[in-house]
Amino acid sequence: MSEKKPNFIVDAMLGNLAKKLRILGYDSKYFSSIEDDKLIAIAKNEKRVILTKDAPLTKIAEKQNVDSILIRGNDEFEQIAQINAKIKLDRFVMNTNNSRCIACNGNLRSVEKYRIIGKIPEGVLEREEKFWICDSCKKIYWEGTHFEKLQEFVNKLNNRFQ
């Protein structure tokens, strides 16, 4: 597995893990339903690491020289630890300018407040100053109360793995 930041393809059983990886800035394709051969083909063509709970899928991937990691359990810290054991991940940073869209994996970019008037709740517009929009699906993000919880998650990851 290479030294550059890895890209992942995450199978249907690990949707929450895909979201967390996207928040952490990792390009993580996710499909709620996809056949194993298509998943392997995408991984091979796009040089992605397969994250799965499906042991037979990892065996097929291995035979086709596609990197995969068998994920055990449901605890997100443990799942990321399993990835980190196989691929040394960067120090985890909660950086909205680096995150990816949790809905579609698109790139986020900063957007001026006046451009999103009428597209988000008025109270949010009054409270918040920084906003990001997904280049792909146009979903709008801001650092609300959920941001603090995510920052706690990132801090716990860093305390555990550094």
pLDDT more than 70, % of the chain: 93
* pLDDT of amino acid 160: 74
The reported pLDDT for the residue numbered 1 is 43
Task: Calculate the CA 110 to chain-centre distance.
Answer: 19
User: Model confidence at 2, in pLDDT bands (50, 70, 90)?
Assistant: very low
Query: What tokens appear for 112 in the block?
Result: 């001026």
Q: What is the mean pLDDT of the chain?
A: 88
- Does 43 have pLDDT greater than 70? yes
Look up tokens 């996710």; give the residue.
30
Identify the structural domains of the chain with CATH numbers, from first to last.
8-86 (3.40.50), 97-142 (no CATH)
Q: Is the pLDDT of residue 105 over 90?
A: yes
What is the reported pLDDT for 145? Answer: 72
- Residues 54-71, buried b or exposed e (16+ Cβ, 10 A)? beebbebbeeeebbbbbb
What tokens appear for 87 in the block?
């691929």
pLDDT band at 157 (very low <50, low <70, confident <90, very high): confident
Among candidates 114, 44, 60, which has minimal Cα distance to 52?
A: 60
Q: Which long-range contacts (CB under 8 A, 24 or more apart) does 32-36 make?
A: 36/60
Rounded average pLDDT over 42-53: 97
pLDDT band at 93 (very low <50, low <70, confident <90, very high): low
8 Å CB contact between 101 and 136: yes
Amino acid type, 59? K
pTM comes to 0.84
Q: Which of 36-50, 68-82, 139-153 has the lowest mean pLDDT?
A: 139-153
